[in-house]
Structure 1
């Protein structure tokens, strides 16, 4: 584990909590639990820089701003916890439509007698 520089805090990315996913887009026939999943969930080798106000950034973006994680406090190890924010992520609708295709394909295969 690398040493932190002054003004840096370790961070971890987590699935969306209720505040982040409530009202987010979910296509028909896709379990709502899929909305919570972000593409970088579980990533823990991240460091954020504390601002001059002593606070960590409220948002963290990836993929040219298409994927957004929102600050949600600290965990027991004093890491900054960022949760996937589907309502703020411009790629969310496209990702969920892809998930819907996978679910539809699986349902079709199951109906045909395959697994």
Structure 2
């Protein structure tokens, strides 16, 4: 966990919930459960700073804004929970296309072809 400065709130990044992944891109042949996975899920060495009203940022992003996580309340350890937001993440489609390639290669190997 990151060392917190005064006023900072610890963060945990989690997979997308139904609100975040509903309607998100999922290529043919890829289980929809893969859409939920964000590249930084489980990360806990982050913190956010509330605005002057005490509200936390609605989104945190990584990779120059290409990966987005959306605020989803607090957990039982009083950490801010941010869930992967595939519909808001510009990198999501290219990542899922890569996942589809892996699934297709695996399918070919299972069928005896390479």
- What is the Cα-based RMSD across aligned positions, in Å? 1.3
Offset at residue 4 of structure 1 (A): 2.1
Q: Which residue of 1 aligns with 2:12?
A: 12
- How far does the alpha carbon of each residue in 1:69-89 deviate from its partner, in whole angstroms, 9 at most, with x for none? 000000000000000000000
Question: 2:25 matched to which residue of 1?
Answer: 25
Q: 1:7: Cα distance to partner?
A: 1.4
Matched residue, 2:98? 98
The runs of at least 4 consecutive aligned structure 1 residues that moved more than 6 Å come to none
Unaligned runs of 5+ in 1: none
TM-score in terms of structure 2 length: 0.96
The offset of 1:6, in angstroms, is 1.6
Distance 1:91 1:75, change over 3 A: same
Q: How many residues end up aligned between the 2 structures?
A: 114
Structure 2: segments with no counterpart, 5+ residues: none
Partner SS state of residue 87, structure 1: helix
2:88 pairs with 1:88:
yes
Q: Per-residue displacement from partner, 1:28-61 (whole Å, max 9, x unpaired)?
A: 0100000000000000111111111101100000
